[in-house]
Amino acid sequence: MLNKILYADAGTTQTQEMLKALMDLPAFKKAAITVLHVVPPQITADALTEKWDEGGKIIADILKNIDIDPSKVSTILRQGEPKTTVCEVADEIGADLILMGSRGLKRLEAILENSVSQYVFQLTNHAMLLVRDDIYVKRIKRIMVALDKSAAAEYTLDLALYLLKDYPEAELILARVNPDLKPDLLPLSRQEIENNPVLAPAIAKAKRYGINYRSIVTGGKPGEKICELADEYSVDLLMIGSPDRRPSVARSLPDLDRLLGTSLSDYIRVNANCPVLLARNEGV
């Protein structure tokens, strides 16, 4: 499911640590890694040469700092507009996952500051793992999946199970935030949680895989509550479904994010205090 990873970053510590953490998971042992560094268009030839050399050094430092089988790694140094180049390369190599750093800018800030990660998030149809510059990346021991009734959530669950198979020391946290659940009905009993119509199929799958799990059902605003739960349970990786709902006619618009309303994915990618994997599959 995750055989090709595109590492698209300027060499920040957090994303390097995230890649190291992924490499500890058995599911990633055979994955092919493409390290991409984009040199923005330069005004002069001298400036281009300087940036080109700088990019080569960044790639070399990344490969030096991360212990990866050299036969599994390829590098791309390319000139172009960073936000469009990442999307193009992800399509070229058929990336199953894009790993990027993020400044955690809110929507308006991201638009005004021409955020690369925001642009890629809106325009790509590939799954993304975003690592904010101001968070601490830990070894992956707890993965939380936010579940609802959507096909995207089901795909995200399958992806999490794939990541955790053959990794018995980890725990899967299955979280269902129901905005219609009244506060006076909380907390639910263990039996009520296990029989929840959204969680019950997920629990059955986790049991079949022999994966350690914990299940949570609560109410409130989904975005805020999911981020609170991630903090409360010291989650190392938060996974949510992020379906592509854009009309095909609008997919090439560079300012598409101006046309979209606030989404759950947007809120969580900005506010969660842990790396966030936005699972996206063309079939859902």
Paired strand residues for 128? 98, 278
Q: Can you give the residue ranges of every domain in the chain?
A: 4-138+241-247, 142-239
Domain 4-138+241-247 shares a fold with domain 142-239: yes
Q: What is the pLDDT of residue 10?
A: 61
0.85 exceeded by the pTM?
yes
Higher pLDDT, 79 or 216: 216
Q: Which CATH class is domain 4-138+241-247?
A: alpha beta
Quickly state the pLDDT bin for 91 (edges 50, 70, 90).
Answer: very high
**Rounded-to-integer distance, Cα 114 and Cα 82, Å:** 10
The per-residue pLDDT for range 230-262, each reduced to its tens digit, is 999 999 999 999 875 444 444 454 444 443 445
Q: Is residue 206 over pLDDT 90?
A: yes
Quickly state the pLDDT bin for 89 (edges 50, 70, 90).
Answer: very high
Quickly state the pLDDT bin for 227 (edges 50, 70, 90).
Answer: very high
Share of the chain above pLDDT 90, in %: 45
Mean pLDDT of 203-224: 94
Ranked by mean pLDDT, the top range of 30-34, 120-124, 196-200 is 196-200
Q: Which CATH class is domain 142-239?
A: alpha beta
Q: What is the pLDDT of residue 274?
A: 95
Q: What is the pLDDT of residue 94?
A: 94
Residue bearing tokens 């022999």: 210
**Rounded-to-integer distance, Cα 134 and Cα 123, Å:** 24
Q: ∠ at Cα 91 (90, 95), nearest 5°?
A: 50
**Rounded-to-integer distance, Cα 17 and Cα 83, Å:** 22
The per-residue pLDDT for range 187-204, each reduced to its tens digit, is 889 999 999 999 999 999
**Rounded-to-integer distance, Cα 100 and Cα 9, Å:** 6
How many residues are recorded in the chain?
284
Q: What is the pLDDT of residue 258?
A: 40
